[in-house]
Amino acid sequence: MSLVNFTTREITCKIVYYGPGRSGKTTNLHYIYGRVPDSRRGRMVSLATQTDRTLFFDFLPIDLGQISGFNTRFQLYTVPGQVYYNATRRLVLQGADGVVFVADSQARQLDENLESLQNLQSNLLEHGVDIRTMPLVMQYNKQDLPRELILSTADLDDALNFRGVASFSADALHGVGVFETLKGVSEMVLKRLAAGSTA
Amino acid sequence: MTTALNPKYTFDTFVVGTANRLAVTAGRTVAENPGSAYNPLFIYSGSGLGKTHVLMAIGHAAKKLAPTLNVEYLTLDEYVEAFHAAIAAGQGDAFRRRFQNVDVLLVDDVQFLSNRKEMQSELLRLTEALQGAGHQIVLTSDRPPPEIADLDERLISRLSGGLVVDMGVPDYETRVAILRRKAEERGTTFQPGVLETVAGLEFANVRELMGALNRLVAFQAVNDQPINAEATKQLLGAAAGLAPAMAPGVSPGPGVSPGPGVSPGPPPASGDEFGAFLADVTVTVGKAVEAWRARVGEAVLRWRGEGYRTHRLERLLEQETPPAVDEAITQFVEDVERLKALEAEVGQLDPQASGDSVFRDPERMAEAEEAAAQVRAGVAPPPGPSGAFPLGGYAVGSSNEVAVSAVRAVLDQPGKKYNPLVLVGKSGLGKTHLLNALGLELARANGAVVACLSTQAFIDELIAAIDGNRVDWWRARYRRVTALLLDDIHLVAGKERTQEELFNLFNLLQDRERQLAFTAPAHPNTLTGIEERVVSRLEGGLVAELKEPDRAIKRSVLERLLAGQNVTPEPALLDYLADRPTDSVRSLVGVAQRVVAAAAAEDVPLTAGLAREVLEGQAPREERRSGGFRTSGIVVSSLGGIKSREKMVWDWPEVADRLIEELR
């Protein structure tokens, strides 16, 4: 997928929120949706089950307007976290420019986090993408939960972030760390432009 | 006319928060690299959020880094007033020049451009001029360019073409920081929590916030007692509605589960977080994309401005990740320089061809080279002297020694001694030979371009040039020559245009001390049909006369002629031929040739007797004349109407042969 189109003067960034079920990916998108002025956001597409689990995927287009003469758009996607929706995940992951891995900070969810991370790696590989070349940030969500229930960001870094990518502590429900995460991944994605243009 | 910068408004006194970080960063960048970073820089925000502060801070910072910079700050209204005053005083141009020389122009409040077409076009022109000269322009407004009512499309695109940044309402933390800084500046200390309370109140902008602070400062000064947070709320409560802090803060209740993801959390109080995000993305994109695009764009503008086609560079912009931008630009510049050189070269040779668009398109280098080569070939020097007339082969005698010594004098100092040299004499006396010999000698000089041709050929060339609309080219061709030698100059009689051209060419070449030489059958002032101004110029140099050849010349001509044909003549033959009454060398040569031919035809030795027989005796026999001669086939009896056989033409071409030749 083309990230920067110089003919139509468009920059389109596809960012996928990845992670285990119920880690708060859709919550991230909802918070962002709430902060983007009406004129800048498209309709948020969310296909949820009756119990409000993401069935297919969420899609939030954001129009950042003209930046340096480029019409800049962000497309935020979430994948369904449940293990049995892997085909959908792989589909959504196709052509992603950046990935936010939303980890559930709860100690009992650690295995799910690891499993999902491995799933991300293998799904990327199926698209011929090495996870080491993909702009990726970690978000440790639900850090607002009682200390005894969750792992600290340091512990999570040790457990999950063996690649040493940028990580953000977050409370997506109340918006803490949501934009920081988005900013972090956006910068990584956009900096690839710089690398591309001077190659 | 312009306002001095307020010394208090610097970057140091400006409190930077997420809402204005981009504007401040851009402002600092602009101050550090005026004219090259973001040009124009357009800052917009609501009233009282620090536009003017940032604008002046840019001025201060730029001045600090480069004290020689000419920095001007003014509001649009001031600019308009000054413009009207200048127009009224008839000083419009001076006004424009004045502003075009400003290195950093800071224009405040450009939103007042609404419905002012004249000022819009003036500002457009100024912006273009400043950008073109690499000078910085920074503008502020309370709204982005596209939202300024009734603004010219071109101006919108021009203003949006650099960087457009906005400054939002400062967030809670920034408000606290601003209040602390200002309280410190005023030397007032407040109880803990007071400033935080003020910051938590809803004020539309920083200016109102300052007003609130001022009231607190005044209150505290009057009451001799520090005000507390509760009293602050009461004091200011009437002025501002109580509002919760905008920042989400760390206030979440410790729910066990985040619950269904549909709840968007607390409703957004402002686009603050998004604005900060947008600002950061803008900076990142600007760094990533704009750097090389700006370079290419500048190159396109520059070379297009100079009239070159820039498709090659424009195509770079269409690529996704252009490889080696700098190399491409360097190559382009090299090509353009080559085109310039070619055009200059061609321009000298052929002024008309130099305007060709091929010299303006680096895409067509090969064509340009080819066109230049063609022009170079087309301006092969004009006809030169004939190699058949060397000076060494010119027989000198008393009858022509004046002319020959004049030629030698000319060769010593071409263009300086006898200019022009006019050789006059009857037909067949060797004028053409001498002229060509002069040309050959002149052509030996380094870089010499000698034009040596008959006047008739000169006239024909001019006619062809007029016909082909290439008179400029024709002129340029002759203006390059270092010597102009025209045979039979009397043929210009009645050719007005040729005389006109010759007159101009004459003056030009003479001014440059280039040698001119002409031949004429008689003294120039006796020639008819030639304009007085041309005649007087011909008379202005040296007119050297060639007389009928004397006996010595005739002998030497004959000797050389016969020697050239491997015939060793007996002295009696030479004497006989030299004594014959011939009035020119040419007729003498003709006579000698006939005798030689006759001897060859009859296969008899060349003797005076044979010559006498040929020239005075009976007509040659039929069969003799068929041997190797091309004849006309006309047989003339000696008893016929033609008295002197010398007047017969013996070597008329066979017309039939010729026709066949051409039909082939």
Write the burial class of residue B109 (CB in 10 Å: 0-12 exposed, 13-18 middle, 19+ buried): buried
- Name the β-bridge partners of A61: A75
- Comparing C-alpha atoms, which of A184, A191, A178, A198 is closest to residue A60? A178
Domain identity same for B110 and B143 = yes
Shortest distance between the Cα of A194 and any Cα of chain B, in A, equals: 4
Q: What secondary structure letter does DSSP report for B288?
A: I
Q: Identify the bridge partners of residue A136 per DSSP, sorted by sequence position.
A: A99
Q: At what angle do helices A110-126 and A153-160 cross, to 10 degrees?
A: 40
Q: How far apart are CA B342 and CA B647, in angstroms?
A: 57
Complex ipTM, two decimals? Answer: 0.83
**Do the bridges between strand A4-5 and strand A10-18 make them parallel or antiparallel, or are there none, so unpaired?**
antiparallel
Answer yes or no: do B273 and A175 touch at CB < 8 A: yes
- Please judge whether A175 and B163 are an interchain contact, meaning their C-beta atoms are less than 8 angstroms apart: no
CATH architecture, domain defined by A4-197: 3-Layer(aba) Sandwich (3.40)
Task: Give the span between the Cα atoms of B559 and A14, in whole angstroms.
Answer: 102
At residue A66, the pLDDT reads 76
Q: Are B272 and B246 in contact (CB under 8 A)?
A: yes
Residues B26 and B159 in one domain: yes
Alpha helices for B201-243 (secondary structure H): 206-223, 229-237
Contacts of B268 in chain A (CB under 8 A): 34-35
Residues B480, B355 share a domain: no
Same domain, B400 and B347: no
Q: Are A176 and B248 in contact (CB under 8 A)?
A: yes
Task: Mention every residue, 6+ apart, whose C-beta is less than 8 A from residue B537.
Answer: B420, B503, B506, B507, B510
Residue numbers of chain A with a pLDDT score lower than 50: 1-2, 196-199
With respect to residue B603, please indicate whether it lies within any of the assigned structural domains: yes
Which has more confidence, B354 or A132? A132
Residues B640 and B564 in one domain: yes
Residues 6+ apart with CB under 8 A from B590: none
The partner residue sitting opposite A194, judged by closest CB among B248, B263, B288, is B288
Task: Indicate whether B579 and B539 sit together in one domain.
Answer: no
* Same domain? B303 vs B428: no
Distance in angstroms (rounded) separating the CA atoms of residues B445 and B412: 11
What pLDDT sits at residue A54? 60
**Given an 8 Å threshold on Cβ–Cβ distance, is B282 in contact with A67?**
yes
Put simply, the chain A residues between 17 and 56 with a CB less than 8 A from any chain B CB are 22, 24-27, 30-37, 40, 48, 51-52, 54
Q: How far is CA B536 from CA B133, B411, B506, B520, B530, in A?
A: 56, 23, 12, 14, 10
Backbone angles phi, psi at B305, to 5 degrees: -60, -30
Residue B251, pLDDT > 60, answer no
Instruction: Name the range with the highest mean pLDDT among A123-132, B443-452, B577-586, B615-624.
Output: A123-132
Tens of pLDDT, residue by residue over B536-559, are 888 888 888 888 878 778 888 788
The reply to whether omega before B420 is within 30° of 0 (cis) is yes
Chain B CB within 8 Å of residue A175 CB: yes
Which residues of chain A are within 8 Å of residue B251 when distances are taken between CB atoms?
Answer: 174
pLDDT at B531: 86
Distances in Å between the Cα of B494 and the Cα atoms of B79, B131, B461, B499 are: 68, 61, 17, 8
Asked whether residue B5 is domain-assigned, the answer is no
Spatial separation of the C-alpha atoms in residues B285 and A12, rounded to whole Å: 12
Q: What are the beta bridge partners of residue B71? A: B104
Put simply, the chain B residues between 227 and 256 with a CB less than 8 A from any chain A CB are 248, 250-252, 254-256
Q: How does strand A45-48 pair with strand A54-67?
A: antiparallel
Pick from B144, B86, B149, B78: which is nearest to B113 by CA?
B149
Which region among A17-31, B131-145, B335-349, B498-512 has the lowest average model confidence (pLDDT)? Answer: B335-349
Question: Comparing B348 with B199, which gets the higher pLDDT?
Answer: B199
Strands A45-48 and A10-18 turn out to be: unpaired
Paired strand residues for A141: A104
pLDDT value at residue B253:
36
Task: Kindly give the pairing relationship between strand B515-520 and strand B136-141.
Answer: unpaired
Whether residues B629 and B570 fall in one domain: yes
To probe the interface with A, which of B39, B281, B292, B295 has the most A CB atoms within 10 Å? B281
Residue B281 placed within a domain: no
Which one, of A135, A76, A185, A171, lies nearest residue B250 by Cα? A171
Do B150 and B170 form a contact (C-beta atoms < 8 A)?
Answer: no
Contact B176, B39 (CB under 8 A): no
Checking if the pLDDT of B632 tops 70, the result is: no
Query: Residue B495: how many CB atoms within 10 A of its CB?
Result: 19
- Residue pairs between chains A and B whose CB atoms are closer than 8 Å: 144
Contact B178, B209 (CB under 8 A): yes
Tell me which residue range forms the domain holding B197: 172-237
Per the CB < 8 A criterion, the answer to whether B72 and B39 are in contact is no
- Calpha distance A147→B102 (Å, rounded): 62
pLDDT band at residue B585 under the 50/70/90 scheme: confident
What does the pLDDT look like over B428-471, one tens digit per residue? 778 888 888 888 888 888 878 888 888 888 888 888 888 777 77
Which span out of A56-70, B336-350, B419-433 was modeled with the highest average pLDDT?
B419-433
Tell me, yes or no, whether B565 and B509 share the same domain.
Answer: no
Q: pLDDT higher for B113 or B520?
A: B520
Task: Classify residue B338: in a domain, yes or no.
Answer: yes
Instruction: Tell whether the model's pLDDT for residue B532 goes beyond 70.
Output: yes
What angle (nearest 5°) sits at the alpha carbon of residue B143, between those of residues B142 and B148? 115
% of chain B surpassing 70 pLDDT: 82
Q: Indicate if the alpha-carbon torsion angle B133, B135, B140, B144 is positive or negative.
A: positive
pLDDT for residue A28: 92
Within this chain, do residues B31 and B159 fall inside the same structural domain, yes or no? yes
**What digits encode the pLDDT tens for the residues B13-34?**
888 887 888 888 888 888 888 8
Average pLDDT over residues B376-392: 75
Distance CA B270, CA B276 (A): 11
Summarize pLDDT for A21-79 with one digit per residue, the tens. Answer: 889 998 998 899 888 888 888 777 766 555 555 666 788 888 887 777 778 888 899 98
Mean pLDDT of chain B: 77
Chain A CB contacts of B248 below 8 Å:
174-176
The kind and range of the H/E element at B165 are strand B163-167
The answer to whether B339 touches B365, Cβ cutoff 8 Å, is yes
> Distance between CA atoms of B601 and B607, rounded to whole angstroms?
14
How many domains would you assign to chain B? 5
Q: Final residue of a domain: which of B167, B195, B210?
A: B167
Reduced 3-state DSSP string for A65-122: EEECCEEEEEEEEECCCCHHHHHHHHHHHCCCCEEEEEEECEHHHHHHHHHHHHHHHH
DSSP bridge partners of A15: A76, A98
Does one domain contain both B572 and B480? no
The per-residue b/e assignment along B462-481, b for 16 or more CB within 10 angstroms, e otherwise, is beebeeeebeebbbbbbeeb
Check residues B482 and B614 and name the one with the higher pLDDT: B482
Taking Cα atoms as reference points, which of A180, A184, A165, A167 lies closest to residue A13? A184
Among the candidates B505, B522, B546, a domain finishes at: B546
The Cα-based distances of B78 to B1, B189, B301 in angstroms read 7, 40, 31
Average pLDDT estimate for B134-152: 86
| 3-state secondary structure (DSSP) of residue A32 | helix
Least Cα separation, residue B310 to chain A (angstroms): 16
Asked whether the beta carbons of residue A7 and residue B318 sit closer than 8 angstroms, the reply is yes
Label residue B239 by pLDDT band (50, 70, 90): very low
Q: Are strands B136-141 and B450-454 parallel, antiparallel or unpaired?
A: unpaired
Q: Which residue has the tokens 């340096």?
A: A68
Which residues of chain A from 142 to 161 reach within 8 Å of chain B, CB to CB?
Answer: 142, 144-146
Alpha-carbon dihedral B338, B344, B346, B348, rounded to 10 degrees: -160
B 129-168 → A contacts, CB under 8 A: 160-161, 163-164
Does residue B28 share a domain with residue B159? yes
| Residue B577 counted as domain residue | yes
* CATH code: domain of residue B134: 3.40.50.300
- For B168-194, what is the mean pLDDT? 82
Residue B484 gets which letter from DSSP?
E
B153 within some domain: yes
Please report which helix (H) or strand (E) contains residue B55, including its range: helix B51-65
Last residue within a domain, chosen from B193, B209, B237: B237
Establish if B473 belongs to a structural domain: yes
Residue B320 within a domain: yes
